[in-house]
Amino acid sequence: MHRIGLLFILIVSLHVKAQQVPVDYTGLKKNGGTRVMLRHNVLTVAWPAGNAGEGQLVFNLNEEGALLRSMRLGKKEVARQLDPVFLLTVSKRDLVSQNGWNIFFDKTHLKPRQTFTVQQNRKNASVSNEGSRTIVRIGEIKAGPFSGNIEVTLYHGSPLFNIAAVMSTAIDSTAVLYDAGLVSKEKIWDKVAWSDTEGRVQSAVASLDSSVNMAVKYRTIIGENEKGSLAVFPAPHQYFYPLDEAFNLKFTWYGKDYRQLAEGFGIGIRQDPMGDNRFVPWFNAPPGTKQRLNFFCLLDTKKASAALEEVKKFTHGDTYQPLPGYKTMSSHFHNEYVMKHILAGKPVPEDPDFMKVFRSTGINIIHLAEFHYTAHPKGPDDQRLKELKALHDMCKQFSKNDFLLLPGEEPNEFYGGHWLSFFPKPVYWIMSRKPDAPFVETDPQYGKVYRIGNKEEMLKLLELENGLAWTAHPRTKGSTGYPDKYKNEPFFKSDRFFGAAWKAMPADLSIDRLGIRVLDLLDDMANWGGKKHVLAEADLFTITPENEMYAHLNVNYLQLDKLPAYENGWQSILDAIQQGKFFVTTGEVLIPSATLSPVRSRITMRISWTFPLSHAIIISGDGEKVYRERVSLDDTKAFGDKEFTFETKLQGRKWVRVEVWDAAVNGAFTQPFWLE
C-alpha cells in the first residue's frame, strides 16, 4: 500500500511537471493555414508546404530529449529526434581606434575568444502567424553572456523553414561568430551529400566517428535516408561577414560530436574564426540588440541531389538572372592580373580562371580596380604607361560574347580617402606632375597622356574625358570620414563625382537590412543636394573557381538594351550610372520597374523574388530630415513576381527611394527619385 501511494505521488509529480510549459496561441490566426496540437508537452505544428503537401514539425517541450521529435513532409517522416545546435563564439570589438561599429580594420581573430554552446531551458512556447508564415518560439536559451529564445519560422507554400537562436547581451564592445546545425544521438541519415566546389554532387556514408569541415559550392550540406532528405544552409549573404578575400573557408560540417561541443551526429554550417587572416571583423553585437543566429532547412521526399536543386533555385544557381532592358555590372576587383601575371612574364591562357569565374555568375560587365598598391601610379612615366597599356590590352582581349572587362583603378590620390575612377575608353594618365611638365601632351606610342598634380587637375581630367569618380567603401576602411569631409568641395559637387559605393559592411545579425552604413549615406547625400547615387561594389582580391564568390558579391542592373563593343568605348554604361538608371541587388530580389506617379504620392514597382519577402522601406527626405516608412510584405510566399503599389505622403519632400528585403536579408534598392 505504501508503494502504491509513492507511485501515485510520482505519477502526479511527473504529470504536473509535464504541464509546466505554457504555450501562447494568442497570435495564431484561425484561418492562417496552420494546424496545431499540444499533448503531454509535445507540440505538433503543421503548415501548407506547397506542391509537397503538408509540412509538419513535432516539438518536444520536455526538458529531456531532442527538441525536434519529428520532421514530416507529406506522408513521409524525413527526420526524427534532432536537436538544433548553436555554438556562439564571443570576442571584443574595437570601438575606439577608428570609427566605432563601422570598423573593418579589426583583427578580432587574434584577440581572446570563448565559445559557448547554446543551452535550452524549455520553460515557455508560443505559436503565431505573421502573414504567410508560422512562427514557433521556445524559451529560454542561454550562451555565456547571451540569452534569448529559439525561433522557428515555417514558410507557407514551401517546405522551407528557418531555425534561429535569437539572443542579446548587455555587454558592450562585443563581436561574435556562430556555427549551427542539427544533431541527433540516433542514426538518422544513411548518407551526407554536398556539391564540391566544381559543382559536382558528392556523398559519403553517414558513419564518421568524428566531424569534418567541408568546402562546398552553394553553402549547403544535406542528410539523406530512404524517406527523403533535409538540406541545411545559411542565408546566402548575411551569414558572410565582410572580408578582403572570398576564400572558401569550409563553411559546412558533418559528423559526430562537432568541435567536441555538439553531442551526436550532425550536419550544419560554420565560420572559420581566422577568416582570411587579414582583417577579420566578424559580426557586430551591440548591447541589447537581438542577434539572429540562424540557418535554413529544406525538406524533400527525394534524394539529396533533388534537394540541392531546390536549394539552388533560391539563388538562381548562384547567378544573376537576365532582365530584358538591363545589363548586370559588378565593380571594385583587385585581381591584379596585370602585375602578377602579364607583366610578371607568366603564361597567360586564352581563358584564365578569373574570367571563367566572372562569366559563370551571369555578370555582363566587370569594372576593375587594378594597381592597388602594386604598380607605379606616379611613375616613372614609362613604367606607368606600360602598365596602363597592359591593362587596356587585357581588357580588350577578354571582352567578348556579351561580356565586358573594363579598366578601372582605386587611385586614392588628390581627394582624400579612397575612391574609384572609371573612364568611357582607355585613358593614359599619370598621378603626378612636375611644375615644368605639361598637363597633357601627345605621346607617339600612347597618344594623349595626362599628368595630374592636384584635385583641380583631377576634376579637369574627369571633365575632359567624361570620366566618373566615387567614394569607395565610404565611412569605413581607408575612407573613414569620407565623403563627409569633402562634401563641400567643387570636385564632389561636380556631376563627375558620382557618389559612393555599397557593400554589406559591417555585419550585424540583428538588422534585417544589409549595408546600412552606405544606405544611410545615400540618404544623407540626397539631403545634401547634388543628385548623388550609390553603386554596388564587391571590393575583393583573389578571384578563383573554388572561392565562395556569390556570398560576397552584389550587382547593379543597368538600364541598357545592349552592350557596347569594347573598341567603340562604353560611354552608354557611364551615362546609365551617372543618371541613376539602375538598381542594386544581392541577386535574389529584382526590381524590373519602378515608377513614381505624376501626383508623387504613389510608387509602383514590379518585384520578383525567391525567398519570401519580408518588407519594403520607403525612404524620403526634405533636405534636412530623413523619413522612413516600413511596409510589411510578409504575406508573400517563396518565388513570386508581382506589381506592388505603395501609397505614401511626399508633401514637402525633395526625394524618395525604396528598398525591398526578403526573409534571408537579401535585398534590392532603387536610386532616389528627385521630386524637385
Sort strands 673-674 and 640-647 into parallel, antiparallel or unpaired: unpaired
The set of cell numbers assigned to 617 is 522601406
Q: Characterize the bridge pairing of strands 23-24 and 119-130.
A: parallel
Q: Which residues contact 527 (CB under 8 A, 6 or more apart)?
A: 621, 622, 623, 624, 625, 626, 654, 655
The C-alpha atoms of residue 430 and residue 185 are separated, in whole angstroms, by 66
- Cα 608 to chain centroid, rounded: 18
Instruction: Render the burial of 470-490: b for 16+ CB within 10 Å, e for the rest.
Output: bbbbbbbbebbebbbebeeee
Task: Show the low-confidence residues of the chain (pLDDT under 50).
Answer: 1-17
Q: Are 180 and 269 in contact (CB under 8 A)?
A: yes
- What is the reported pLDDT for 19? 64
- Determine the pLDDT at residue 7: 38
d(CA 452, CA 440): 9
* Pair 385, 443: CB distance under 8 Å: yes
End-to-end CA distance of the chain: 91
In this prediction, residue 1 carries a pLDDT of 42
Per the listing, cell 566587370 goes with: 366
How far, in Å, CA of 629 to CA of 118, rounded?
Answer: 35
Buried b (16+ CB within 10 A) or exposed e, 497-513: bbbbbbbbbbbbbbbbb
Task: Tell me how far apart the alpha carbons of residues 561 and 582 are, in angstroms, rounded to a whole number.
Answer: 13
Domains and CATH numbers, the chain: 23-314 (2.70.98), 318-428+455-585 (3.20.20.140), 588-675 (2.60.40)
Confidence at residue 596, expressed as pLDDT on a 0 to 100 scale: 95
C-alpha cell at 365: 560587365
CB 659 within 8 A of CB 616: yes
Identify whether the C-beta of residue 45 lies closer than 8 Å to the C-beta of residue 129.
Answer: no
What are residue 375's phi and psi, to 5 degrees?
A: -125, -150
Q: How far apart are CA 209 and CA 96, in angstroms?
A: 45
Q: Is the dihedral of CA 21, 22, 28, 31 positive or negative?
A: positive
Quickly count: other Cβ atoms within 10 Å of residue 22's Cβ. Answer: 10
Strand partners, 155: 133
299's grid cell: 525538406
Which residue in the block uniquely carries the three cell numbers 543628385? 531
| Inter-residue contact 593 to 427 (CB < 8 Å) | no
